[in-house]
Structure 1
Amino acid sequence: MHQRKSKKILIYFFLLFLVGSINNININNLKFQSIKNINVTGLENEDNSIISKKIKNLKLDNIYLINKKDLNTLIESNNLVEKYFIFKKYPSSLNINIDKTSFLARISKNGKIYDLGSNGKLIENKYSNNQLPFVFGNPEIIEFFNIKKIIDESQISFEEIESLYFFLSKRWDLELRNNIIIRLPNDNIKESLKLASEFLHNNEFKDIKIIDARIKNQIILND
């Protein structure tokens, strides 16, 4: 009985060795096609071409064994990218579709003017026109997005704004395209904007120049 079990075990080992050897031979002889086509879309032609060339420089061996980390890092290093989708087209093509970030405002940093994208990145000011609102002061990016979110939830359209002024006290002033200035408090900004908009869209107060909403539950008008 013991001898039979030993023979069976030896047979199993032999079969495993044989199958493994065959598989290894097949794998060693298997040659994958290298990536021949890299198609990038979504940005301007020049920017698409730059990303495509950088991907080629990664020297990706084949479509089956792509280093996703390196590929993602390269694509995300372009500040124009909001999000992207990578599609493998077998056997040797890679298609990358990019959603371009939206330009929200212009801002000065270290003596240079940048566009601020909806992806939170600063982009060299050569892509957008100068109709974007300008941010004065030195806010953190998150502070800009906080005030924009409040504005977007108010009765005032962000497109109505000419400039945003950020102060060291962490509060904002808004200058509208009709030259009216809204002075906002540090807290309760949403409620203050709601009060301000009631005067802003009232024809009886069409000559006002400043809406001061810094005091809670009060509005001071200056013409």
Structure 2
Amino acid sequence: MTKNLNNLKIKNIFFLNKSKISEVIESDTLVENYSVFKKYPSNLTIQIKDTNFLAKINVNNKIYIVGSNGKLINNNYKNDNLPFIFGKPEIDEFLKFKKLIDESKFSYDQIKNLYFFPSKRWDVELNNKVLLKLSKKNIKESLNQAFEFFNNTNFKEIKLIDARIKNQITIK
């Protein structure tokens, strides 16, 4: 990105084209947000916040990283701890789902894989190989109900928590 900014050949801060600078910065998939300040007479300050890596996903037989900025990032980074998304969700759908997980009692770090179905329903595989089946609606409530079973010492041998039916949990 720095190289692309240098290619703009900014000679005079007064003739600075802010939209071209924004275009260069926004084209970088690693940028979450940014701000550009003109500091007269001759300085330009750009503050950039990097995006967070959230998950890996296969798109057209290529593995990408999903950033918290909603962009797909080339998988050139060491990221073995990221959950893998199976299925074809829109990135916005995934980000909404991730937000619900963050608002629930579950920790996103407990997740190994995410499964998205064409019906827009999610399943979650946890690091301990427990599969959590969620409904399309009431996701946060289902996560919180399942969390109670997940942490109950009387249910240590659980391999499946089915929370697809409202106010009902089935365990195997």
CA RMSD of aligned residues (A): 1.3
Q: Does residue 133 of structure 2 align to residue 208 of structure 1?
A: no
Number of equivalences: 172
Q: Does residue 37 of structure 2 align to residue 87 of structure 1?
A: yes
Q: Residue 143 of structure 1 aligns to a residue in which SS?
A: helix
- Of residues 50, 75, 98, the one that matches 1:148 is 98
Partner of 1:182: 132
Mapping of 1:10-159 within 5 angstroms? 51-159=1-109
In structure 2, C-alpha distance between the alignment counterparts of 1:193 and 1:52, rounded to whole Å:
43
More helix by share: 1
Cα offsets for 1:56-99 (capped at 9, x unmatched): 22222301120111111111100001111223344433332211
In structure 2, C-alpha distance between the alignment counterparts of 1:218 and 1:87, rounded to whole Å:
54
Say if 1:84 and 1:97, in contact at 8 Å, map to a contact too: yes
Mapping of 1:185-196 within 5 angstroms? 185-196=135-146
Cα offsets for 1:164-186 (capped at 9, x unmatched): 00011110100000110100011
Consecutive aligned runs of 4 or more in structure 1 exceeding 4 Å deviation = none
Shift of 1:188: 1.5
In structure 2, C-alpha distance between the alignment counterparts of 1:80 and 1:139, rounded to whole Å:
21
Shift of 1:154: 0.8
Please report the TM-score for the alignment, with normalisation by the length of structure 2: 0.94
Unaligned runs of 5+ residues in structure 2 are: none
In structure 2, C-alpha distance between the alignment counterparts of 1:210 and 1:169, rounded to whole Å:
20
Unaligned runs of 5+ residues in structure 1 are: 1-50
Bigger Rg, which one: 1
In structure 1, C-alpha distance between the alignment counterparts of 2:150 and 2:38, rounded to whole Å:
53
Q: Residue 195 of structure 1 aligns to a residue in which SS?
A: helix
Say if 1:103 and 1:128, in contact at 8 Å, map to a contact too: no
Q: Give percent identity, aligned residues only.
A: 56
Please report the TM-score for the alignment, with normalisation by the length of structure 1: 0.74
